[in-house]
Amino acid sequence: MDRLTGRVAFITGAGSGLGRAMALRFAAEGAHIAAADINLVAAEETAEEVRALGPNAIALLVDVRKQAELDAAIARSVAELGDLWVGVANAGINRNGTLLTLTEADWQAVIDINLTGVFLTCQAVAKQLVRQGAGGRLISIASVAAEKGFAGLIPYGAAKAGVRHMTRSMAQELAPHRITANSIGPGLIATPFGGNDWSQPGRREAAGLGIPLGRVGEATDVAAVAAFLASDEASFVTGSYYLVDGGMTDAGFGGAGAPRRE
């Protein structure tokens, strides 16, 4: 498909996991990619893979906690690739621990990146889209942890719930500018986030037992939904939240650390 031909996507956390998968899916549909990450080497690897598919790509060193870095990255993206069409706020971290063991620093680190970082990313992209005056798309990555409580994920779940509801408000504010804002809630996705090693024999099969569809998700599953939301096919979709979890939320799937996904 070529639903994004010639359009420009700015993606945070693009150096690995979901971010890289979305960059490659968007590129396969014709988009040029601004791959932003706090790891510039990883971002450049993503950009190289994008360029191998045909579209142009640049790698950007960005700390999503810093407004000035985001603004500079957006400006460079426009200068080198053209007007933006879609911004994906994907960068995220986790700190393992429970209510009894987490420190204030652990809490703040997750909130700063997973919630404030999403706000700052969306704000920077939205300002550029409004200046351009041609509409556009915002996509934020939440989690099934925005829906359910998971032991060991207090700050992560709090941040992701905030992302979900913040995105709904952004959708209302940006609608007059023909900019849509939607969020995606991945479930258990087979990426290295959280130190998961999915190459271990039987790891995927065991993890999929509690999921109604009988398997863990792949980063490409999330990327496919993101590509739809970035396309003209989703022009009347805003303020929505798309679970990509194989049915685990409705099935009552739980357990410590369950929704590791990036």
Single-letter residue type at 148: K
Q: Do 211 and 10 contact (CB within 8 A), yes or no?
A: no
| Dist. CA 119–CA 217, nearest whole Å | 26
Cross-sheet strand order for the sheet of 241-244: 57-61, 32-37, 8-12, 86-89, 136-141, 179-186, 241-244
Tell me which residue of 70, 97, 234 sits closest to 154, measured CA to CA. Answer: 97
Q: Count of alpha carbons within 13 Å of 4, Cβ hemisphere only?
A: 32
| Dist. CA 6–CA 210, nearest whole Å | 41
Please name every residue paired with 185 in a beta bridge, in sequence order, or none if there are none.
243
| Consecutive H or E run containing 163 | helix 154-174
Q: How many CB atoms lie within 10 A of CB 239?
A: 16
Q: Do 128 and 84 contact (CB within 8 A), yes or no?
A: yes
Q: Taking the mean position of all CA atoms in its chain, how far away is CA 131? A: 23
Does 241 qualify as catalytic in the annotation? no
The residue annotated as part of the active site, out of 119, 156, 242, 253, is 156
Tell me which residue of 135, 125, 119, 121 sits closest to 169, measured CA to CA. Answer: 119
Q: Do 33 and 55 contact (CB within 8 A), yes or no?
A: yes
Burial class (CB in 10 A: 0-12, 13-18, 19+), 62: buried
Q: Which two tokens stand for residue 37?
A: 């990450």
Q: Catalytic positions, please?
A: 156
